[in-house]
Amino acid sequence: MVERTPILNFFTHLILFAGFVFCVAPFVIVAIAASHNLKDVNDVPMSLLPGSDFWVNIKTAWVTADLGPKLLNSFIMAFGVAAGKVIVSALTAFSIVYFRYPGRTLIFWLIFITLMLPLEVRIVPTYAVVANVLEPYQTIMDLTGLSWLIEKISGVRVQLSLGLLNSYSGLILPLVATATGTFLYRQFFLTVPDELTEAARMDGAGALRFFVDILLPLSRNNMGALGTIMFLWAWNQYLWPLLITTDQSHAMAVTELKQLIPNVGGAPEWHIAMAGTLIVMLPPLIVVLLMQRWFVRGLIATEK
Amino acid sequence: MEKRVTFGRWTIGILFAVPQLLLIFTFFYWPAGQAVYWSLTLQQPWGGGNIWVGLDNFRSILANADYWNSITASMIFAGISTGLAMVIALVLAALTDRQLAGSWLYRVVLIWPYGIAAPALALAFRFILAPEAGFMAVVNRVWPGFWDPGLDGADAMASIIIAFSWKYVGYNFIFFLAAFQAIPRSLIEAAAMDGSGVLRRFWDIQFPLITPTIFFLLVINITESFQDSFGIVDIMTAGGPANATNLMVYKIYSDGFKGLDYSGAAAQSIILMLLIVALTIVQFRFIERRVHYR
Residue ranges of domains in chain A: 34-303
B91: pLDDT confidence band, cut at 50, 70 and 90?
A: very high
Instruction: Judge if B121 and B21 occupy the same domain.
Output: no
Question: Residue B192 falls within a domain, yes or no?
Answer: yes
Q: Which residues of A touch B257 (CB under 8 A)?
A: 124, 127, 243
For residue B123, give the DSSP letter.
H
The CATH number that applies at residue B274 is 1.10.3720.10
B188 belongs to a structural domain: yes
| B201/B131 same-domain check | yes
| Helices and strands, number each (H, E), in chain A | 18, 0
CB pairs under 8 A between A and B: 310
Could you tell me the residue range of the domain that residue B7 belongs to?
1-54
3-state secondary structure of B41: strand
Answer whether residue B103 shows pLDDT above 60: yes
| Cβ pair B20:A91 closer than 8 A | yes
- Give the separation between CA B124 and CA B276, rounded to whole angstroms: 29
Which one is predicted more confidently, A203 or B54?
A203
User: Do A194 and B253 make contact, defined as CB atoms within 8 angstroms?
Assistant: no
d(CA A147, CA A141): 5
Q: Give yes or no: residues B115 and B147 share one domain.
A: yes
The predicted structure's pLDDT at residue B294: 40
A240 in Cβ contact with A123 (< 8 Å): yes
For chain B, the domain total comes to 2
Residue to test with chain A: of B21, B24, B38, most A Cβ within 10 A? B24
Q: Are residues B37 and B127 in the same domain?
A: no
Is B8 among the domain residues? yes
Interface test mutation site (partner B, options A8, A11, A14, A16, max chain B beta carbons within 10 A):
A16
pLDDT band with cut points at 50, 70 and 90 for residue B246: confident
Identify all chain B residues contacting A27, using CB atoms and an 8 Å cutoff. 112
CA-nearest residue to B14 within chain A is A95
Q: Is residue B59 part of a domain?
A: no
Q: In this complex, do B117 and A97 lie within 8 Å of one another by their Cβ atoms?
A: no
pLDDT digits (tens, 9 = 90+) for A253-267: 888 888 778 776 666
Nearest CA in chain A to B166: A23
The verdict on B187 and B205 lying in the same domain is: yes
Shared domain check, B116 and B240: yes
Decide if A230 contacts A241 (C-beta within 8 A). no
Query: Looking at residue B78, what is its pLDDT?
Result: 92
Measure the CA–CA gap between B255 and B261, rounded to whole angstroms: 6
Q: Are residues B93 and B236 in the same domain?
A: yes
The distance from CA B46 to its chain's CA centroid, rounded to whole angstroms, is 39
Q: Does domain A34-303 have CATH number 1.10.3720.10?
A: yes
Reported pTM = 0.85
- Rounded to whole angstroms, the Cα distance separating A131 from B27 reads 11
> Can you give the pLDDT at residue A304?
45
Nearest CA in chain A to B23: A177
Beta carbons of A178 and B30 less than 8 Å apart? no
Closest in B16, B98, B137 to A91, CB measured: B16
Whether residue B164 sits in one domain with residue B129 = yes
A131, A239, B224, B231 from A75: Cα distances, Å: 23, 17, 24, 19
Chain A residues touching B125 at Cβ < 8 A: 26
Q: Does B78 share its domain with B37? A: no
Q: Evaluate if residue B124 carries a pLDDT over 50.
A: yes
Return the H-helix or E-strand segment holding A46.
Answer: none
Q: Is the ipTM above a cut-off of 0.85?
A: no
Residue B274 Cα distances to A71, A129, A167, B36, B267, angstroms: 36, 21, 31, 11, 11
Secondary structure of residue A234 in the 3-state scheme: helix
From the first residue on, what is the mean pLDDT of each consecutive set of 10 residues in chain A (304 residues)?
77 89 88 82 75 83 84 91 91 88 84 78 81 79 77 72 78 84 84 88 87 89 86 88 81 82 73 87 88 78 60
A68-82 per-position pLDDT tens digit: 888 898 999 999 999
What tens digit of pLDDT does each residue of B167-221 get? 999 889 988 988 888 888 888 888 888 888 888 888 888 888 888 888 888 888 8
